[in-house]
A and B are shown apart, each in its own frame.
Chain A
Amino acid sequence: KAGVTQTPRYLIKTRGQQVTLSCSPISGHRSVSWYQQTPGQGLQFLFEYFSETQRNKGNFPGRFSGRQFSNSRSEMNVSTLELGDSALYLCASRAYSNQPQHFGDGTRLSIL
């Protein structure tokens, strides 16, 4: 079974631009969560989607948004990029509640 796939692996943007990150979950997994990780920091929860509906949301500004498609693939969008948005963005999928999340390799976003 293929793992969680995130694209692209690396992105360089400038302040004010917007960016879209993609995540393909493990086949059969309907839940996709997104996390932001900065150097030396933990996993900051952005949001979780289940069957195309946002089920949970973290404490991030409205510039961060997401969506999930009928095939469970998910995208995350960040608008009006700021220098502080530079981070590793991780996606994780799981089959059902109380099942482990499986992480992708992440997208490393750098803002210049």
Chain B
Amino acid sequence: GENVEQHPSTLSVQEGDSAVIKCTYSDSASNYFPWYKQELGKRPQLIIDIRSNVGEKKDQRIAVTLNKTAKHFSLHITETQPEDSAVYFCAASGGTGNQFYFGTGTSLTVIP
């Protein structure tokens, strides 16, 4: 099956700096890559997603890039704010069984 690895596991940045979280996947058939944000005590919420026919997607301060050849995708958050502090999960889907495979999560702390 698919294997999704996510790095780093924890990340601290100063407010206003950028944050980058990286994920790799193993199944070349995976073709859908969402990112979720989970604030403390809340449900994971979709923040951005990308499909394999697109190399980059941007939504205000958030962007995701995908490199199909290298099988990795990344989340970029610019001009970070304290409310960006949360756990972020990447996921891959569309391969064997069409199951969602989640990364292990990155705990992002934005220091005011």
Question: Which positions in A face B, CB cutoff 8 Å?
Answer: 33, 42-43, 45, 48, 55-56, 90, 92, 97-106
Contact = CB atoms under 8 A, between A and B. Distances in A.
A105 B100 contact: no
A56 B96 CA distance: 10
Nearest to B4: A42
Given A43-B89, A98-B32, A55 B43 contact: no
Interface string B26-61: 000001101010000011111001010000000000
Interface of B: 31-32, 34, 36, 42-46, 49, 51, 89, 91, 93-94, 97-105
Nearest to A104: B43
B103 A42 contact: yes
Given A90-B43, A102-B46, A104-B43, A45 B98 contact: no
